[in-house]
A and B are shown apart, each in its own frame.
Chain A
């Protein structure tokens, strides 16, 4: 069904107001960005709930509402499966990857690859990740542009340019801090819009019982059939989505990695990711897929024709159940989903551009201000390239398909190298190199000759070329290459803190001395300034309450929790004094934007 010129003037006003609000809100956070550490990592200061919300905004892309509503309409509640299986790889992230990247102060995935393996592996990873990210920016912009063109009848390129300019402006000024806070706002909008649609749809159907009665057994189950639907087989989704793509999202996605590095501590990272997996993903799933479930119930109840195109179901349902203004709000949410994904991608490209190309190959010795300027320029350049790619992807469907094939080819080798690199100290640099090279080659070969996947297809029909079963084949192939080459080559020495075996050592390197892991609760105390060179001093009584020693890492923040750490600072405790307060230097005071004489919350980090 071709949908043309939906919505009213009120809807357009709501969308334009939303654009302006997001741009101003994001740009406000430019004042918190003075170094590359701020621009990329937000200064390692944020609270877990802030990062958890922004992660959800990143995972929900513009295509999510369309894609999951389509699946929800066709397959029912099992469309949620992609959002409810992250628990499988959660402990790998919590126990290994998160502390490794945080304590090793790794700025990018390629940088980790050089430190863990060698320069060749870093170069290969840099090329792979950049191609993936830049292509992904173009695809996200195109997806939303096409959707809005179809829905509102607006021309494609001006729409794409406006969205790219808005994202580019607030990212240029605010960096990671702007990304985190706009994503927090956009996460709320996504969820509110999704639940608003659900509520209005239930009302339109005449109650929850009518909604449920519109779903038969096949549409009620939490999982699709094991292997009978070659387009949506449980077994294919398990290996491709639950194992490969989820690992790629948490371990390989530079943007997500930067989010976790912006947290005040590893403990906060563990809380954030657990909250995402247990609470936010189920909520996000209902928000993005319910359009399809409602559509199916409407068809069963005779409120929609049975031949409704599944690809149009989200917009069709939104247009039927939403009143003027609300429809615009839901369309703004669709845009929010795009912007919160694209801003993360652009910031990630900027980080890799500066850390892995500019600093390594162009200008290794420069001050931080210079690198910050380059980071901002790369952010603008990435947005422009993303826009340029839109007509290219739009004109040549094969390029769009090529990017999808490229992503399918590089994800399993990258995932294998990251997991083995973090959890197996005998995994060698040569093995990593050949896993990326030969592993990608083997995956590409399977795209030309899909029958090679048949032995691991679990009975899924070869119709469609084993699209979903390729991940299992790829993981097995890459795993074999990695293990065999490692057995005949020499592992790298001096990888303290870069593998799970030496996380303790990594913590000591991070701190610059023995770590203090004794449990203690945060305290509140008055903030004063010290005139000496000491960064932070603390009164004896407070130090006793925190069970802290001189030289330990300490974190202090504004007492208002809802700032999420925006006003905060972290540093080493230089001296324990006889005073009854905490004192910090002028530099740290300015950096943390804290107010003298006010109560602050103080806690020990390590």
Chain B
């Protein structure tokens, strides 16, 4: 039951992080600086939200559903 959680966040996380790597490696440094942190915070917020949503949800389902 935890295998799906791990696969989604590890493999999904690799795909997700590769976009950050490309952004910091390929985008003009002046533009990255001018755009500031907000542009990075949006996807990070999405990752954090879904990571904890799935974590808590899986834990809750196992704990309450197995009774």
Give chain A nearest CB distance to B20 CB in angstroms: 6
A393 to B43, CA, bound (A): 40
Give chain B nearest CB distance to A281 CB in angstroms: 10
Tell me the B19-67 residues at the A interface (CB within 8 Å). Answer: 19-20, 22-23, 26-28, 30-31, 34-36, 38-39, 42-43, 45-47, 49-50, 53-54, 57-58, 60-62, 64-66
- Per-residue 0/1 for A507-532: is the Cβ within 8 Å of any B Cβ (1 yes, 0 no)? 10000000001110000000000000
Interface pair A87/B16, CB less than 8 Å apart: yes
- Per-residue 0/1 for A212-250: is the Cβ within 8 Å of any B Cβ (1 yes, 0 no)? 100111111111111000000011001000110000000
Interface pair A91/B23, CB less than 8 Å apart: yes
In the complex, what residues of A have CB within 8 A of residue B20's CB? 91, 95
Chain A-chain B contacts (Cβ-Cβ < 8 Å), number: 127
Assess whether A447 is interfacial by the CB under 8 Å rule: no
A14-22, A161-169, A497-505 - interface stretch: A497-505
Cβ contact of B46, chosen from A218, A278, A517, cutoff 8 A: A278
> What are 8 contact pairs spanning A and B, CB under 8 A?
A84-B54, A85-B12, A88-B16, A91-B16, A220-B65, A221-B1, A222-B57, A517-B34
Give chain B nearest CB distance to A234 CB in angstroms: 4
The interface size of chain A toward B, counting residues with CB under 8 Å, comes to 48
A237 to B29, CA, bound (A): 37
In the complex, what residues of A have CB within 8 A of residue B36's CB? 519
Assess whether A384 is interfacial by the CB under 8 Å rule: no
Assess whether A470 is interfacial by the CB under 8 Å rule: no
Interface pair A223/B8, CB less than 8 Å apart: yes
Binding site for B on A (CB under 8 A): 77, 84-92, 94-96, 212, 215-226, 234-235, 238, 242-243, 270-271, 273-274, 277-278, 282, 423, 500-504, 507, 517-519
Q: A221-B58, A222-B58 are in contact. Are A87 and B47 (CB under 8 A)?
A: yes
Interface pair A221/B26, CB less than 8 Å apart: no
In the complex, what residues of A have CB within 8 A of residue B4's CB? 221, 223-226, 234
A218 to B27, CA, bound (A): 45
Interface pair B27/A503, CB less than 8 Å apart: yes
A454 to B16, CA, bound (A): 26
Q: A217-B66, A278-B45 are in contact. Are A87 and B50 (CB under 8 A)?
A: yes
In the complex, what residues of A have CB within 8 A of residue B53's CB? 84, 222, 282
A273 to B3, CA, bound (A): 29
Binding site for A on B (CB under 8 A): 1, 3-5, 7-8, 11-12, 15-16, 19-20, 22-23, 26-28, 30-31, 34-36, 38-39, 42-43, 45-47, 49-50, 53-54, 57-58, 60-62, 64-66
Q: A90-B43, A220-B61, A234-B7 are in contact. Are A84 and B27 (CB under 8 A)?
A: no
Q: A95-B22, A223-B4, A501-B27 are in contact. Are A89 and B58 (CB under 8 A)?
A: no
Nearest chain-A residue to B58 (Cβ)? A222
Interface pair A95/B23, CB less than 8 Å apart: yes
In the complex, what residues of A have CB within 8 A of residue B49's CB? 87, 278
Q: A95-B19, A500-B27 are in contact. Are A90 and B42 (CB under 8 A)?
A: yes
Interface pair B15/A423, CB less than 8 Å apart: no
Cβ contact of A217, chosen from B19, B26, B62, cutoff 8 A: B62
Q: A222-B58, A519-B36 are in contact. Are A87 and B43 (CB under 8 A)?
A: yes
Interface pair A242/B65, CB less than 8 Å apart: no
Give chain B nearest CB distance to A322 CB in angstroms: 28
Q: A215-B65, A243-B15 are in contact. Are A90 and B31 (CB under 8 A)?
A: no
Give chain B nearest CB distance to A133 CB in angstroms: 27
Nearest chain-A residue to B46 (Cβ)? A87
A500 to B66, CA, bound (A): 48
Give chain A nearest CB distance to B33 CB in angstroms: 9
In the complex, what residues of B have CB within 8 A of residue A502's CB? 28
A215 to B1, CA, bound (A): 16
